[in-house]
Amino acid sequence: MSEDKQKSEVKQAQIVTYLEQQQATKFRENFLLLHVYEQAQILTELTIRQRARLYRYLTPEELGATFNAVEEEPEAVIKYFDEMTPNYAAAVLGQMYTDNAVDILAFAEKKKLVQYLRLMPTEKSAEIKEMLHYEDKTAGAIMATEFVQIVSNQTVRSGMHVLKKEAKEAEMVYYAYVVDDEEKLIGVVTLRQLLISDDDALIKDVMNDQVKAVKVDEDQEDVAKTIRDYNFLAIPVTDYDDKLIGIITVDDIIDVIDEESAEDYSGLAGVDIEDSPEDPIKAASKRLPWLITLLFLGMSTATLISHYEQLVSEASILAVFISSITGTAGNAGTQSLAVAVRRLAYKGDDNKTLLRTIITEVITGVVIGLVTGLTIFVIVGLWKHNFILGFVIGLAMMCAIIVANLAGSIIPMAMDKLGFDPAVASGPFISTLSDLTSVLIYFNIASIFLSFITGK
């Protein structure tokens, strides 16, 4: 694999050299032989001057195919189009799959967008305009409009004929969707099924009428779940009259799964890992708002401890265990949070599931609290020869863990119910919040037993 990689890097360097030396024919010959993913890699590594030449050497259709495979963020990709003449840019966008073109155009300046749409074929620009209206992260926003559509009283032979004709344009030719007179979706037939069916059979006799579809405004995460569960290569998208308006292919769904898992992961760490710049100043400025916010939340913990400063000065031994208690409760709360967020995403958010998750987490917290509390009771008791101190630390740790588990499970669920993304309730947030409650619990319990601890 690594040898493979080296070879392909040498090849790519050679192709860039052809471009550099203005050898148009040699460049085209070699560049067009590459997989579009590799073409896209080259494109994104060129200098602006080299790209200008690339735009001259490739037809809009060829460059459109390359841009379909570019994986940079759309706000970065639109900049390439700004480098082209408006005519060429519109032609390239017009050759791309509609969903990809729409992603990019969503970040175009208003003026440029109008210009590009005006320069495109009417049909294409109408499709794009329509799709620009769909809300981000819904089926409509990620669907492609290039699909194969047939009718139920065609023969298999004529269905195959349609497939062949559309094979060049459609994003997915292995499923043909069957519609009625009103363009309502009524079935699906796979190319595999067509292959093994008699040529003269009617589509309606070989199609699967139990076709699964998603509505245009369905959340992309739910679409991903359906494709994953059913192992589909694509799923049709319908509007509110059940009319077929697009398809979502499995490769787009892989991107969705990546995006959503990166979001969950980012949430847990309190940092956007998908968009973490390599420039330290920029990276720091992205992470600081969250850290400073938590610092202020942390200051309430400091204020609280400050309130008990008299207590600490009377029994400075209490300070020794602050970090053990806050740390352990924070760790338990983070575990609880991770499980709750994941269960929300995979098991749905009906009230029964929510309640069961909270109850499970609290009982888990009680068990964990008991075991951890007992452990620290024994350790502190033996270490400091003071089992009353051990009892105070153990009891405080147990209560702090139960509260942390409760917070770790309730907060993401409450956020979900209030319409926020539960993953925003990050690990750092839960552990900082749990610091506060842990300290409160700890000092209150300690106050009660103060005279026993100090032995005065």
Residues of this chain, 30-69, that bind a copy of itself according to CB under 8 A: 33-35, 37, 69
CA distance 209 to 3: 48
Structure tokens, 122: 């009417």
Binding piece for a copy of itself, criterion CB under 8 A, among 80-88, 99-107, 199-207, 287-295: 287-295
Interface pick for a copy of itself out of 52, 114, 292, 378 (rule CB under 8 A): 292
Query: Distance of alpha carbon 286 from its chain centroid, rounded?
Result: 18
Which residue, chain included where needed, has tokens 């579809």?
213
DSSP E strand stretches across 60-112: none
The DSSP element (H or E) to which 35 belongs, if any, is none
Interface pick for a copy of itself out of 291, 388, 424, 450 (rule CB under 8 A): 291
Q: How far is the CB of 54 from a copy of itself (least distance, A)?
A: 21
Regarding beta strands 244-249 and 234-238, do their DSSP bridges make them parallel or antiparallel, or are they unpaired? antiparallel
278 contacts a copy of itself (rule: CB under 8 A)? yes
Q: How far is the CB of 331 from a copy of itself (least distance, A)?
A: 4
State the amino acid at position 30 in one-letter form: N
376 contacts a copy of itself (rule: CB under 8 A)? yes
By rule CB under 8 A, what count of residues binds a copy of itself?
109
Which residue, chain included where needed, has tokens 């319409």?
419
User: Roughly what angle, to the nearest 10 degrees, separates helices 86-95 and 98-105?
Assistant: 140
Regarding beta strands 148-151 and 214-215, do their DSSP bridges make them parallel or antiparallel, or are they unpaired? unpaired
Nearer to a copy of itself, 95 or 266 (CB): 266
CB 412 within 8 Å of CB 341 = yes
Q: How far is the CB of 263 from a copy of itself (least distance, A)?
A: 11
Structure tokens, 117: 């749409």
Query: What residue spans of 308-386 are helical by DSSP H?
Result: 309-314, 317-320, 322-347, 351-384
330 contacts a copy of itself (rule: CB under 8 A)? yes
Structure tokens, 440: 């409160």
Nearer to a copy of itself, 114 or 355 (CB): 355
84 contacts a copy of itself (rule: CB under 8 A)? no
Among positions 137-196, residues that touch a copy of itself (CB under 8 A) are 160, 163-164, 167-168, 173-174, 191-192, 195-196
Binding piece for a copy of itself, criterion CB under 8 A, among 16-24, 79-87, 181-189, 299-307: 299-307
Q: Mask 310-329, x = binds a copy of itself (CB under 8 A)? A: --xx--xxxxxxxxx-xxx-
Binding piece for a copy of itself, criterion CB under 8 A, among 50-58, 78-86, 113-121, 296-304: 296-304
CA distance 103 to 293: 33
Nearer to a copy of itself, 71 or 83 (CB): 71
Residues with Cβ within 8 Å of 410's Cβ and at least 6 positions away in sequence, in order, are 358
CA distance 78 to 225: 30
214 contacts a copy of itself (rule: CB under 8 A)? yes
Nearer to a copy of itself, 116 or 159 (CB): 159
Backbone dihedral angles phi then psi of residue 147, each to the nearest 5 degrees: -140, 170
Q: What is the DSSP string of 404-450?
A: HHHHHHHHHHHHHHTTS-GGGS-HHHHHHHHHHHHHHHHHHHHHHTH
271 contacts a copy of itself (rule: CB under 8 A)? yes
Structure tokens, 114: 């109008």
Q: How far is the CB of 205 from a copy of itself (least distance, A)?
A: 15
Nearer to a copy of itself, 108 or 340 (CB): 340
335 contacts a copy of itself (rule: CB under 8 A)? yes
Among positions 426-445, residues that touch a copy of itself (CB under 8 A) are 427-428, 431-432, 435, 439
